[in-house]
Chain A
Amino acid sequence: MNIVVPVKLVPDLVEELTVDASGSALDTAWLRLIINEFDDHAIEQAILLKEQSGGQVVVVSPNAEGVEDMLFTASAKGADQLIKLNGDFEDGVNNHGLARALATLLRDLQPDLILTGVQAHNDLDGSLGPLLAQYLEMPYVGYVSGVTADSGKVVARKEYPGGLIAEMEVTLPAVLGIQAAEQPPRYVAISKVRQAMKTAAIDEQEAATLDPSGGPTVSRMYQPEATEQATMISGSEDEIAARIIDIFKESGVL
Chain B
Amino acid sequence: MNQDILVVIEHLRGQVSDISYTMLAAGRELAQSTGGSVVAVLLGHNSQNLAGDLAADRVLYVDHPALADFTPEAYQKTLAGLIGENQPRAVLLGHTTIGMDVASGLSAQLGLPLVSSGRSFTADGKFISQICGGKIMAEGDLPGPTALVTMVPGGYKPEQGQSTQPPQLTEASAPALEGLRVALKQYIEPEVSDVDIAREQLLVAVGRGIQNQDNLSLAEELAEAMGGVVCASRPVVDQGWLPTSRLVGKSGKTVKPKVFLAMGISGAPEHVEAITGSDVIIAINTDPAAPIFNVAKYGTTADLFDLVPALTDQIRQAKSG
Residues of chain A whose beta carbon lies under 8 Å from any beta carbon of chain B:
11, 13-14, 16-17, 19, 26, 37, 41, 95-96, 99, 118-119, 121-127, 129-131, 133-135, 139-143, 155, 157-171, 174, 177, 179-180, 183-184, 213-224, 226-234, 237-238, 240-242, 244-245, 247-248, 251-254
Contacts and interface: CB of A to CB of B under 8 A. Distances in A.
Contact of B133 (A121, A131, A241): A121
Contacts of A252: 258
Nearest to A119: B100
A109 B101 CA distance: 24
Given A174-B181, A214-B107, A253-B259, A230 B283 contact: yes
From A234, A238, A245, A251, name the one whose CB has the most chain B CB atoms within 10 angstroms. A251
Which 10 A-B residue pairs are closest in the complex by CB-CB distance?
A163-B190, A126-B104, A230-B299, A134-B108, A130-B104, A226-B294, A139-B181, A171-B181, A230-B296, A165-B188
Q: How would you classify the secondary structure of chain A's contact residues: helix, strand, loop or mixed?
A: mixed
A221 B101 CA distance: 26
Contacts of B1: none
Contacts of A171: 181-182
Interface stretch (B27-35, B53-61, B157-165, B303-311): B303-311
Contacts of A220: 138-140
Given A16-B289, A227-B295, A230-B283, A134 B201 contact: no
A164 B189 contact: yes
Contacts of A164: 12, 187-190
Contact of A219 (B140, B201, B299): B140
Interface in B61-100: 69-73, 97, 100
Contact of B114 (A165, A166, A214, A231): A214
A13 B116 CA distance: 19
A143 B98 CA distance: 9
Interface string B292-321: 011111111110001100110111001000
Contacts of B313: 241
Given A224-B135, A227-B295, 19 more contacts: A13-B133, A129-B104, A140-B72, A167-B185, A168-B71, A168-B182, A169-B182, A170-B181, A179-B251, A220-B138, A221-B137, A224-B137, A224-B291, A232-B298, A234-B301, A245-B311, A245-B314, A253-B258, A253-B259
A131 B294 contact: no
Q: How would you classify the secondary structure of chain B's contact residues: helix, strand, loop or mixed?
A: mixed
B108 A125 contact: no
Given A143-B101, A230-B296, A17 B135 contact: yes
Interface residues of B, number: 101
A155 B185 contact: yes
20 contacts: A41-B238, A121-B132, A126-B100, A127-B116, A130-B105, A134-B104, A140-B105, A162-B251, A168-B182, A168-B183, A184-B238, A216-B147, A217-B140, A227-B294, A230-B298, A241-B313, A244-B311, A253-B226, A253-B227, A254-B315
Nearest to B261: A244
A126 B132 contact: no
A135 B138 contact: no
A254 B226 contact: yes
Given A164-B188, A251-B259, A124 B138 contact: yes
Nearest to A163: B190
Contacts of B298: 230-233, 244, 247
B294 A224 contact: yes
B221 interface: no
A163 B245 contact: yes
